[in-house]
Structure 1
Amino acid sequence: MTRAYGNAQSQKRAYVLINPNSGPGGAIKQWETEVKPLFQAAKMQIDPVILKHGGEAVELAQNADLSRYDTIMACSGDGTPHEIFNGLAKRPDAARALSTMPVSHIPCGSGNAFSCNLYGSHRPSFAALAIIKGVVTPMDLVSVTSGHNRIISFLSQTLGLIAECDLGTEHMRWMGSARFEVGVVQRMFKKKCYPFDLAVKVEIEDKGDVKAHYKHHASSTSLNHLAKKLDADPVAEDAGLPPLKYGTIQDDLPEEWELIPYDKVGTFYAGNMAYMSPDAPFFAASLISDGLMDLVTIDGDLPFFTAIKVLLDVEAEKLFDNPHVTYKKISAYRIIPRDQEDGYISIDGEKCPFGPFQAEIHQGLGRVISKSGKYEAAGPKNWDKVTLADRIHG
């Protein structure tokens, strides 16, 4: 048995939060027919709860007796993992809870990014098998402040075209992940731009250097290295969330930051995972715990067929190298929308109040169950062929 599981824990104890309203709405059936039998065969201890209202997963994670479980599992889309992370973040022992309680995911929604990145599949049974033999893995989390609120983001923050296509297509949930593509094409005809002022703490600006950074981390990460990271830096029992290095949106702009106006951007997209949905690997160079967000910006006034080519490059895993796409590694930013009374801001696919917000990343703050200790994504094209001593500082 030990040999079969390797570095993974066998017979995991799972607190399963099932959202019956996720995506097309088949979570309960998928749980009963595709997932539960596999967990029972693996002799996992299962404590399932069917969620009845939005925000319930926050409450359950906040108040759970964590000593009873080895993972809190979302059987849902990406909204429930978002709630679980934020429930853990609301606990008085938030830092300890986030760093010791792995979150896992059975994909039953529209995007299913969590499962695509950590298990390499959006199919519930494949995710279940990956979880059974999966390993606890540190993952970066992002603090986002807007107004007087601080929330935790595990996936992405976006303003502009992508946010509208995500949040403005809720009425098309029955289409599954295809609703995003339909929404994008509808809005590309308008060539809409979303003006804002932006200050960013850029860590790696050149795409070649981003590839070198990816190569360095992809080549040096192993399960043994992962185990050492998990054993390092024990967290105090009563430690809350880590302090914010750069303050909140309510504070003055940090001295070294410069607020720059942008008038023609169509998409502002900051990501913490590679796949945003099964056919949308927006952030090819994303790494699970490098302490950096990936920032993609695309102009909104591109000719229609050029914009369509950008869209097609997403699914073809060529977006990173598209000349109309800027791609940077960053650690924090502040964004202030301009010339709009209302609009869409999406954080992990959830709608947030429209207005200024600020974000910063916390390296390895969260824990997840992954298939192999990393994201199951291919990385940017030809990342393994970077030369010039891997760009000197890769």
Structure 2
Amino acid sequence: MSSQDDSSEPHDTTLIVESVSLTIGADSLLILDDRPAKADRSCCGLLQPKPETNHAISLYNILGAEVTASNLVIAYAQHSAKNDVSVTTVQYPISEKEKVAIERWAQQLLDAAYAKALRGKRLKVLVNPFGGKGTAASLYQRYAAPVFAAAKCQLDVQNTEYRGHALEIAENLDIDAYDAVVCCSGDGLPYEVFNGLGKRPDARKALAQTAVALLPCGSGNGLTWNAFGTGSVSIAALAIVKGLRTPLDLVSISQKDSRTLSFLSQSFGIVAECDLGTENIRWMGAQRFTYGFLIRLMRQTIWPCDIAVKVEIGDKEAIKEHYAAWSTRPQDPDADSKRLGIAAESPGLPELKYGTVTDELPQGWQVISGETMGNFYAGNMAIMSKDTNMFPATLPDDGLMDVVTIDGTVSRATALTMMNEIPSGRFFDMPDLNVRKASAFRLVPHQKEGYISIDGERVPFEAFQAEVHQGLGTILTKSGCIYEAAGPR
């Protein structure tokens, strides 16, 4: 191996070990193996030479590189199926005199492979053995644990034992001991974790310092789809290993004397009914949402209500322009440290700018007719579950949520067309869909019974008010700035 004696100088990106050339490229580790094959006889008894091997491993997939007593060992995530990766290693024998130079090269490889991502993350792993189809524990052990081990993450794994347990764990967590809380569940556990962190005296500091991530073991898995663009446990585990800290808007939900935090969505009408009214068929997985929608569509039910919205952008074209500008803005490399500094100075949850649902309606809010409401949906993430990119214009930390309203008197054919356009990305532009970017809203149901869904969790069927807090929470994402969803066209 050719290398520099002065460690301050750039190192040679190419390493030669036993006729194998390993080169650190811009986005891949290139391996050229010229070693002759061991004697191998064909069916005719002739020796078959080993052909030259040229192999490239994406730097994103590289998990670890270390020098043992006699080998250089590189661990990486190899695609074992269309939607899965498995841990694979390559190793090459080395001599004692090569060790120092090879260790330096291995460090250079890891620097390139992890780039801005934190190596050896300290993870508090919460496994919900009851969520979804009840397979979270086995999914974690089979698909995620090997990836975390190969990346040398420090793990503290704990099963949740009852509803609200994750909230209690987060509320009492030693936030200085962990870089992230990883939930093996559906979106229910992240909801509890955010609210547990939000109940602490140092809530703002805890929410800014502790990232929350999801291994998709539930029905919807919205957090995983938005942050990592996958429903695969193993690919999500790799994304957590390589994940970048990303500020996340959180939404305060007030009802009478209560205040909770929402990270994903708030719904009333047909979507809330499809989500919460199908709990008895959770065994169907994500298909239960489609089934619930079709059943309720046939009934053409409406959910009358009073709605008022603090609209910030009310035009679809202006929303598209906002998305384009925000998603391509230059990133401040010190943004995270500044946010942590502010959180340390003001540790509690931020005050409610617009008060609660029991206060007088603030001036300047737009009142929307809700007498024939079919669906009210507000989201601060783009994807609610697989193939449901309902809010393509949402951004993690622009301080705004997308409020969607659909009149309940639209025809069944129109409603079905709208549903079919969700995966295609054309849902946003449909004329019967009203979209507003808002910083707050208030909804008052007229009926006495029904469903209101906050992040997929059922809350009392009564008036509620929502207010966005820009960048209050923290998640891990692939990009560090946007969701893994196609933006508005």
**TM-score range normalised by the length of the shorter chain:** over 0.9
Residue 53 of structure 1 pairs with residue 162 of structure 2: yes
Mapped partners of 1:256, 1:116: distance in 2: 35
Residue 15 of structure 1 pairs with residue 121 of structure 2: no
Indicate how the Cα distance of structure 1 residues 205 and 238 shifts in structure 2: closer, same or farther if over 3 A, else same: closer
2:370 to 262, 266, 269: 262
Letter of the structure 2 residue corresponding to residue 86 of structure 1: N
Given that residues 304 and 370 in structure 2 are in contact (C-alpha distance below 8 angstroms), is that contact kept between their aligned partners in structure 1? yes
Residue 345 of structure 1 pairs with residue 455 of structure 2: no
Mapped partners of 1:258, 1:115: distance in 2: 33
Mapped partners of 2:385, 2:291: distance in 1: 14
1:181 to 266, 282, 290: 290
Secondary structure of the structure 2 residue equivalent to 1:364? strand
**Gapped runs of 5+ residues in structure 1?**
382-394
Mapped partners of 1:75, 1:231: distance in 2: 28
Higher normalized contact order (CA 8 Å, seq sep 6+, divided by chain length): 1
**Aligned residue pairs: how many?**
377
2:335 to 223, 229, 233: 229
Given that residues 93 and 237 in structure 1 are in contact (C-alpha distance below 8 angstroms), is that contact kept between their aligned partners in structure 2? no
**Gapped runs of 5+ residues in structure 2?**
1-109
Given that residues 311 and 366 in structure 2 are in contact (C-alpha distance below 8 angstroms), is that contact kept between their aligned partners in structure 1? no
1:274 to 382, 395, 408: 382
Mapped partners of 2:224, 2:141: distance in 1: 18
Matching residue of 1:358: 465
Given that residues 194 and 337 in structure 1 are in contact (C-alpha distance below 8 angstroms), is that contact kept between their aligned partners in structure 2? yes
Secondary structure of the structure 1 residue equivalent to 2:466? strand
Matching residue of 1:390: none
Matching residue of 1:369: 476
From the two aligned structures, give the one with the greater helix fraction: 1
Displacement of 1:66 after TM fit? 1.1
Q: Could you report, residue by residue, the CA deviation over 1:116-153 in whole angstroms, capped at 9, with x for unpaired residues? A: 00011011011000010111111100000012100000
Matching residue of 2:151: 42
Q: CA RMSD in A?
A: 1.1
Letter of the structure 1 residue corresponding to residue 240 of structure 2: I
Residue 197 of structure 1 pairs with residue 306 of structure 2: yes
Mapped partners of 2:409, 2:288: distance in 1: 23
Matching residue of 2:215: 106
Secondary structure of the structure 2 residue equivalent to 1:25? coil
Displacement of 1:221 after TM fit? 4.7
Letter of the structure 1 residue corresponding to residue 360 of structure 2: D
**Which of 300-309 and 285-294 deviates more?**
300-309
Given that residues 210 and 329 in structure 1 are in contact (C-alpha distance below 8 angstroms), is that contact kept between their aligned partners in structure 2? yes
Mapped partners of 2:345, 2:429: distance in 1: 45
Mapped partners of 2:159, 2:330: distance in 1: 37
TM (norm. structure 1) is: 0.94
Letter of the structure 2 residue corresponding to residue 218 of structure 1: S
Matching residue of 1:387: none
Letter of the structure 1 residue corresponding to residue 129 of structure 2: P
Matching residue of 1:240: 348
Given that residues 205 and 347 in structure 2 are in contact (C-alpha distance below 8 angstroms), is that contact kept between their aligned partners in structure 1? yes
Q: Could you report, residue by residue, the CA deviation over 1:85-111 in whole angstroms, capped at 9, with x for unpaired residues? A: 000000000010001111111110000
Given that residues 145 and 359 in structure 1 are in contact (C-alpha distance below 8 angstroms), is that contact kept between their aligned partners in structure 2? yes
Alignment of 1:101-140 (within 5 A): 101-140=210-249
Secondary structure of the structure 2 residue equivalent to 1:246? coil
**Which of 316-325 and 55-64 deviates more?**
316-325
Mapped partners of 2:139, 2:113: distance in 1: 26
Secondary structure of the structure 1 residue equivalent to 2:440? strand
Q: Could you report, residue by residue, the CA deviation over 1:227-265 in whole angstroms, capped at 9, with x for unpaired residues? A: 322122412366210000000011111122354442111
Matching residue of 1:214: 323
Identity among equivalent pairs (%): 48
Displacement of 1:67 after TM fit? 1.2
Mapped partners of 1:122, 1:357: distance in 2: 31
Q: Could you report, residue by residue, the CA deviation over 1:278-328 in whole angstroms, capped at 9, with x for unpaired residues? A: 111110101011000001111111111111001101122211011110111
Mapped partners of 1:252, 1:68: distance in 2: 43
Letter of the structure 2 residue corresponding to residue 81 of structure 1: P
Matching residue of 1:386: none
Letter of the structure 2 residue corresponding to residue 357 of structure 1: F
From the two aligned structures, give the one with the greater strand fraction: 2
Secondary structure of the structure 2 residue equivalent to 1:37? helix
TM (norm. structure 2) is: 0.76
Given that residues 139 and 364 in structure 1 are in contact (C-alpha distance below 8 angstroms), is that contact kept between their aligned partners in structure 2? yes
Alignment of 1:61-80 (within 5 A): 61-80=170-189
Secondary structure of the structure 2 residue equivalent to 1:200? strand
Mapped partners of 1:118, 1:96: distance in 2: 22
Displacement of 1:191 after TM fit? 1.1
